[in-house]
Each structure stands twice: as C-alpha cells, then as structure tokens.
Structure 1
Amino acid sequence: MELDIRKWKHVFKLDPDRTLSDEALEKVCQSGTDAIMVGGSSGVTFDNTVDLLSRIRRFAVNCVLEISVAEAIVPGFDLYLIPVVLNTSDGQWITGFHQQAIREYGAMIDWDTVIPEGYIIMNEQSTVAAVTGADSSLDDKDLAAYARMADKLFRFPVVYIEYSGRFGNIDLVKKASQVLEEARLFYGGGIDGPDKARLAAECADTIVVGNIIYDDLEAALATVEAVKS
C-alpha cells in the first residue's frame, strides 16, 4: 500500500453515518483505489467511526480519517486529514476547533500522521457549507487566490476543492490547479461515474468519490479504472 498522498489518484470517501453492506464494502476496499477516506458533515460519532474503521481494517487498503468533530477522533487510522476552511469568516473552522482539539489531545498526537488541508467549499447548498458558513460565491480569481494562499502562504500539502454532492465548474477548478506549485489538489463532488471521474482527473491530482457509492455501486467502482488505467 502506498501511503504517500502525493501518489494518490483516486480515493473513496465513506460516511460513518450511512449504511453500506459488507459485500459492498469489500468491493470498495478491493477496487484498487489508493485509499479509503472516512468522514462526513453530520452525524459522525466516535462509535460509528470506530465501527467503520474496524470493518475496513479487514482489507489491505490505506484508511484515513478526515476529522470533522474532535469527539470522533479514533486511533488506528493511517493518516488524519485536518480541514482548514479557507472561505469562511467563522474562525472556529479556521483555528478555533483546531486549537481546542490540540489543547485536549496535543501531547498524544503523532504529528507525522497529520495532514492539514486547505479546504474550499464551493456548493452553497451543501450541508458542509451551511455548517461552516462558507462563502461559495467565488469567481475564478477568488478560487485561484485561495488556492495560492493555501499553497504559498500556509504551505498546506493538500488543497481540497469540495463541491459536496454537485459536480463542479471544471474550468474554475482547472484555473485553481494552474497556480499550485507544491500542494496537491484534491477534488470532490458529484462524480457519479467514469466520465465525470476522467473530467475531474484532468485538472485535479486526486479525485474523491463519495455519494455515488451508496446510490450506484458499479458506477462508483468504474471510476477507479477510469482514472488509473
């Protein structure tokens, strides 16, 4: 298993608050994806996170936790992705919750497993936009500026453009990708099959496939070969 995120092209994202059969989970974990990301915008708890992790650990696949609430931090993941929402005026999602978690758990954190993400939320109708108060009305210059800020000012290793349930404006994403020099660009949102997977992969280094797993498993599985073949 390749744990270097700089080499990942495809990631499946599973929500601890949603139901997936053992058979479906096995297909996802053995699909050839580079990693399974665990996370969600609501309903994520310690119990449902640890349950999902224990099921995934039956398979030889990288498993990372994208932390949305400190109460759901579970030991045993390969990496921990920490979103820093760039396009919100609510400081809780930039440094507030992070400071509180580090105050509580800082002495126990293995910092070699922690990866901060410069997170840009682009779907104003999504749950994550409502929860974080993100301003998603960004034009190409706004988005590129956030991407460059994450890359050059804050030196985040990952810039994550999240359309959360809706397929994004690929031209905007492409312009953001063009200003990045060091950070890896993750794209997530609305990838419902191989065609959109290929489109997203043309401008993003890593695509994240989520909701379609629960709606059309075979279409989800087809996205792996689409970007890795």
Structure 2
Amino acid sequence: MPLDWRDISHVTKVDPAEELPRDLDILGGTDLVIVGGSDGVTQENSLDVIRRIKSRFPELPVFQEPYSSSHVSTATVDASDYLAVPAVYNGDRENFVTKHVEFFTEIGTKPEEIVGSGVPVVGELIASRGREAVAEVSENVVGEGYVIQNLDSKAAAVSGVERTYSPDEVAGAALATESFYGFPIFYIEYSGTYGGTADVEAAAQYLDETVLLYGGGITSQRQTEEILDAGADAVVVGDCFHDDPERFRDTLP
C-alpha cells in the first residue's frame, strides 16, 4: 500500500509476545503499527497480532519488524504491508551486515537449496508464485537505520550494542542513512527510557527525504509534542500500549 509519511506522527510498537489490551479500539488514534520484538516472538504470534489488528483496522498501515528471519512467513508477508528491517549502526556486525546479507541470500536462493532454512517465507513464495516472488519480497522490505541509546535495554543486549552515540554521532548516522545508505527511515531508540530532544535535534537537521522516528519512554502528550517539535516525524510508543492503555491514550498528539 502507498504510504504518505506526512499523515503519520504517532506509531505504536506492538510486541507479539505480550498480551494485547482488551480493547483494541485504542489503536484508533495511532497512525501506523510496527509489530516486532525479540523474546518469545514467533511466526505464529506475529501473524496472529497482525491479523487481529488488520481485522479491526483494515486501513491502518502495519509493518512487521522481525528481529530474526525466522519470525517471517508467507502469511506474515501477505498480512502486513511492509517488512521493516533494522540496521543497527552501533550494534555488532551480525546486526548490521551479516543478517541482512543472509536474508537476501536466502531470498535469492532456489527453493530446493533452502529447505529448512531460517527464512521459511522464501521457499514457499518462490515455489507457489515463481521467480517474481523474489522481487515481490524485496519491494516490501523497508530498511531502517537504527541507533540504540539505552545500554540497559534488551534491544541493546540482543543487538550487541556496547556504547551509545553522542549527538554528533547520531547526526552522522542520520546523514549516512539518507545520503549514503538511502534508507527511508532513521530510528532513534531509547527502549523504555525517555531520552529527551538532543539526539532528535541533531539528526533532524540532516534529514530531508528520510523519516525520523523516535522511540523510548513516551508516556504523555507533552513528551510526544516535545519530540515532534524537536524535529521527529513521528514518535513510537510501545511499553505503555501493553502495560497502561489509559496512559497510552495520553501519548496521542
């Protein structure tokens, strides 16, 4: 589906391994949903969450953000609008280069060579739809330049992040994202801790075409507006969606 980022200022991050709020109507105020996580995430629970959200809000854009290619299946590709694949700049090689090369290597591999591979989507898609499936999958992949700024977070641990970036380095990563890598999204992730505006202000000055997302510790409309005023295109709200739906409502702009 075509996506106009000018209409998006509030993004909800949904962890398929966590319980959903009883009333999914609270998603009526958000502009986009990202489904993804690390612990306890599977193809099955990812698909279930995507389908439940889409059945309630068919026009709401849904990205699947798989930490591992094993979270992806033919069904999740069909059910979601895009696959958002993070490239963690301050992570280890596995989370910037290795897994992306492996992902696209498997996409381009003949089905008989990848039986039992970590990307079950590939064999099924190519076998059922022919070689054009390779182009189809690639078209739906969205690259995200990623900086993780909370060393105590699970995201940092699983991505091999050993140090955070200074605002100047965040600005450099933003510039590289748009000018060198050409990723459509640059994501500053504080993972449950509110990081303030310094990194957002540093990154925003170098981004014209690339969308700037900030996630981490957003629990109020005031914080949402503060981050947007600093130059972010959208805030990403995750923890309080699962833990405190009433507080989640307060984050809506």
**Fold shared by both chains (TM-score > 0.5):** yes
2:32 corresponds to = 35
Q: Find 2:215's aligned residue among 179, 184, 188.
A: 188
**How far apart are 1:51 and its partner, in Å?**
1.3
**Structure-to-structure mapping, 1:92-131, within 5 angstroms:** 92-106=94-108, 108-109=133-134, 110=136, 111-131=138-158
Cross-structure match for 2:241: 213
Equivalent pairs counted in the alignment come to 221
Q: In structure 2, how many angstroms separate the alpha carbons of the residues matched to 1:148 and 1:185?
A: 11
Partner of 2:61: 62
**Pairwise mapping of residues 157-168 of structure 1 onto structure 2 (< 5 A)?**
157-168=184-195
Aligned to 1:53: 50
| Runs of 5+ consecutive residues of structure 1 not aligned to the other structure | none
Q: How does 1:8-23 map to 2 (within 5 A)?
A: 8-21=8-21, 23=22
Checking the alignment, whether the CA contact within 8 Å between 1:12 and 1:28 is kept in structure 2 is: no
Query: Which consecutive unaligned segments of at least 5 residues does structure 2 have?
Result: 109-130
- SS of aligned partner of 1:58: helix
Counterpart AA for 2:205: Q
TM-score (norm 2): 0.81
Amino acid at match of 2:3: L
Mark the structure with the bigger radius of gyration.
2
Q: Which TM-score applies when normalising by structure 1?
A: 0.90
Measured in 1, the distance between the counterparts of 2:82 and 2:33 equals 11
Hey, what's the Cα distance between the residues in 1 that align with 2:208 and 2:161?
25
Q: Distance in 1 between matches of 2:209 and 2:163?
A: 24
Q: Residue type of the partner of 2:17?
A: D
Give the deviation of 1:94 after TM superposition: 0.9
Q: What is the aligned partner in structure 2 of residue 143 from structure 1?
A: 170
Distance 2:165 2:67 in 1: 23
Question: SS of the counterpart of 1:131?
Answer: helix
Q: Secondary structure at the match of 2:52?
A: helix
SS at match of 2:63: strand
Identity of aligned residues (%): 34
Per the alignment, residue 44 of structure 1 pairs with: 41
Q: Which residue of 1 aligns with 2:3?
A: 3
The answer to whether the 8 Å contact 1:44/1:69 transfers is: no
Moved over 6 A (4+): none
In structure 1, how many angstroms separate the alpha carbons of the residues matched to 2:225 and 2:163?
Answer: 24
Deviations 1:56-79 (A, max 9, x none): 121222111012110111222111
Q: How does 1:71-86 map to 2 (within 5 A)?
A: 71-73=70-72, 74-75=76-77, 76-86=79-89
Asked if structure 2 preserves the Cα contact closer than 8 Å seen for 1:2 and 1:62, the reply is no
- Aligned amino acid, residue 172 of structure 1: D
TM-align CA RMSD? 1.8
